Amino acid sequence: MARIVQKYGGTSVGDVERIKKVAERIKSIRDQGHELVVVVSARAGVTNELIARAKAVCAQPADRELDMLLAIGEQETIALTAMALHGVGVKAVSYTGAQAGIFTDKVHTKAKIKTINAKKLETDLKAGNVIIVAGFQGINEDGQITTLGRGGSDLTAIALAAAIKADKCEIYTDVDGVYTADPRVVPTARKLEEISYDEMLELASSGSKVMQSRSVEFAEKYGVVFEVRSSFNYNPGTIVKQEVAYMEKVVVRGVAVDKDQAKVIVSNILDKPGSAASVFRALADANIIVDMIVQNVGRNGIANLTFTVPRTDTHKAQRALESVLDTVGGGHVAVHENIAKLSVVGVGMKTHSGVAATLFQALADKGINIELITTSEIKISVVIDQDRADEAARVAHAAFELDKV
């Protein structure tokens, strides 16, 4: 008998018929004698609909009230999933994040999990119940409902797998696994049998829609091996695990495009110690995640800072930055949203040269201009015109022959 945590995304539970299909899959596993904790997302489109309603009544809804509103999406699906299981003769109980013992910090809409009290879950598992948990949410020490941000249901599943020492963690979505690129953009993309945490983390932070980076970081920290697979078939998925030596034989594992970024330029600030610190402290205090950063060489005591932030945070970033301009000698803030980040990722970059040259030449041959460049040990990212992002992904995929690996 194994202890299994499963997560089903919004498309997997998108309507009543799909919820019934999920219940059948759960029943088949429970009938084999396995213990199951199942995390579900809100039905596809529900969260976006709730956000739209919030903004229809208030242009800038308070984060606390957003959390109160958005948490109801998952509460619908946990109850329906539990009912569907009852309908096929399976004992099941549904829990909100708070009822499941998921405690977070006090940051609304982007909360971090601090601890999980799994005592109630253990009791229910021993009683033979399948436990259905609302993903994406928890509760803080003040008793306030919090949500975990994008990819929060994946994070819930992986955190629960660590807390209850699960034997297996399965992330069910609408794709068969992790591909060398988005197959909707790159038709020649291949499904990977396995990928390292670090590669998955870099792909996730670079725009891959399969997983969010926080979930992968959590899995790596607590050693949770998980499988990404489709809820619409029974094909094997992609195993995400610790890097092993043979993985370095493949130089580039995948290509990712992130179209949800914006480029921010803070120009004409004083080129002196502390200017950059003031700029990025203001962004940190506003809970804005900064990605790529470039500072040009100052001239005549003046410098420019260029960086990227999530497009959803551009207005918040502008407000935060305008509050510190006086302390950095004035300056100007400009936002450019028609950009995309293209990344190539692979642990093989550690031991192979020429990856940057191959990527840059391939883009140059197609007349695709590079605006910003950043690198890590296993990733190269460039900012390009958003209108050519899909083409650039196909160019990079072909340049590294990822369809042939």
- What residue has token string 């242009």? 59
- Please give the pLDDT value at position 405: 60
| Digit-coded pLDDT (tens) for 157-189 | 999 999 999 999 999 988 899 999 999 899 999
Angle at 8 between CA 5 and CA 12, to 5 degrees: 155
- Indicate whether 247 pLDDT > 90: no
| Digit-coded pLDDT (tens) for 102-142 | 999 999 999 999 999 999 999 999 999 999 999 999 999 99
Identify the burial level of 280 via C-beta atoms within 10 angstroms of its C-beta, where 0-12 means exposed, 13-18 middle and 19 or more buried. Answer: middle
- Please give the pLDDT value at position 151: 85
Inter-CA distances, 225 with 157, 168, 208, 345, Å? 12, 7, 19, 20
Mean pLDDT of the 92-110 span: 97
Q: Which two tokens stand for residue 381?
A: 């990212």
Q: Which two tokens stand for residue 294?
A: 């470039």
- Please give the pLDDT value at position 400: 95
CA distance 292 to 308: 5
Mean pLDDT of the 334-363 span: 94
- Structure-model confidence comparison of residues 51 and 246, the more confident one: 51
Confidence at 302, pLDDT banded by 50, 70, 90: confident
Instruction: Return the CA Rg of the chain.
Output: 22
Show Cβ contacts of residue 1 under 8 Å, excluding neighbours closer than 6 positions: 33, 34, 35
Mean pLDDT of the 377-386 span: 95
| Digit-coded pLDDT (tens) for 22-31 | 999 999 999 9
Inter-CA distances, 375 with 261, 284, 381, Å? 17, 22, 6
Mean pLDDT of the 199-209 span: 86
- Please give the pLDDT value at position 132: 98
Inter-CA distances, 305 with 302, 333, 339, 368, Å? 10, 10, 17, 23
| Digit-coded pLDDT (tens) for 263-298 | 999 998 988 899 999 999 999 999 999 999 998 876
Show Cβ contacts of residue 152 under 8 Å, excluding neighbours closer than 6 positions: 135, 136, 137, 212
Q: Which domains does the chain have, with CATH numbers?
A: 3-174 (3.40.1160.10)
Q: Of 196, 252, 207, whose CA–CA distance to 399 is shortest?
A: 252
- Please give the pLDDT value at position 245: 64
- Please give the pLDDT value at position 68: 97
- Please give the pLDDT value at position 301: 84
| Digit-coded pLDDT (tens) for 185-202 | 999 999 999 999 999 999
Half-sphere exposure of 395 (CA within 13 A, CB side): 18
- Indicate whether 209 pLDDT > 80: no
Q: Of 393, 396, 15, 401, whose CA–CA distance to 184 is shortest?
A: 393
| Digit-coded pLDDT (tens) for 306-335 | 999 999 999 999 999 998 998 888 888 999
- Please give the pLDDT value at position 244: 72
| CA 170 to chain CA mean position, Å | 16
